[in-house]
Amino acid sequence: MRLAYCTDWCSGMKFLLDMGLARSTAQYLRDCGHDALHLRDQGLQRLPDTEIVVTAVAEQRIILTHDLDFGRIVSLSKATVPSVVTFRFGDMRASAVNRQLDELIARFSVDLERGALISVTDQGIRVRRLPSA
């Protein structure tokens, strides 16, 4: 069921949500037509970060996280995937994250699909294409 507040960005992207984000955000993305998995729902909450990155690559998923380590791991690997979106703002409630996701996906879907490290803060959104220098 597509929700009324989902916009044209509902294009079926694949996401893997880390433990710092609410499980309801994964449900929100699914309701908007995306393939979204939360680590806890998959029983993967105890996996080391490097293994989570391996899983995201194997399943062609974009990592959504509050943890700075994922961006570092991907950057140091010199790989072009997976994209990592790191949320670092004051209000980390699911409703606030979901609003940011709406804007992020609408504006940067091409970057997400091609490979990017994206940081979402109270000051705005910063995008670095992979591989990063």
The β-bridge relationship of strands 124-129 and 116-121 is antiparallel
With respect to residue 2, please indicate whether it lies within any of the assigned structural domains: no
Looking at residue 8, its pLDDT comes to 47
Domain range enclosing 119: 14-129
pTM: 0.90
- 5 or 23: whose pLDDT is higher? 23
Residues 56-64: what's their mean pLDDT? 96
CATH of the domain at 54: 3.40.50
Instruction: Name the packing angle between helices 94-114 and 23-31 (round to 10°).
Output: 60
Side chain identity at 3, as an amino acid letter?
L
Q: Are strands 35-38 and 14-17 parallel, antiparallel or unpaired?
A: parallel
Tell me, yes or no, whether 60 lies in a domain: yes
**Rounded CA gap, 45 and 52, in Å?**
9
56's CB contacts (< 8 A; 6+ apart) are 16, 62, 63, 81, 82
- Stretch 11-40: mean pLDDT, rounded? 94
Average per-residue pLDDT in the chain?
A: 90
Number of folded domains that form the chain: 1
Is the model's pLDDT at 2 over the cut of 50? Answer: no
Write the DSSP symbol of residue 59: H
Residue 86: per-residue pLDDT = 97
Residue 109 pLDDT more than 60?
A: yes
SS3 39: coil
Q: Is 55 part of a structural domain of the chain?
A: yes
Structure tokens at 38: 């939360």
- For residues 103-120, give the mean pLDDT: 95
| Assigned domain for 22 exists | yes
- Assess if residue 104 is contained within a domain: yes
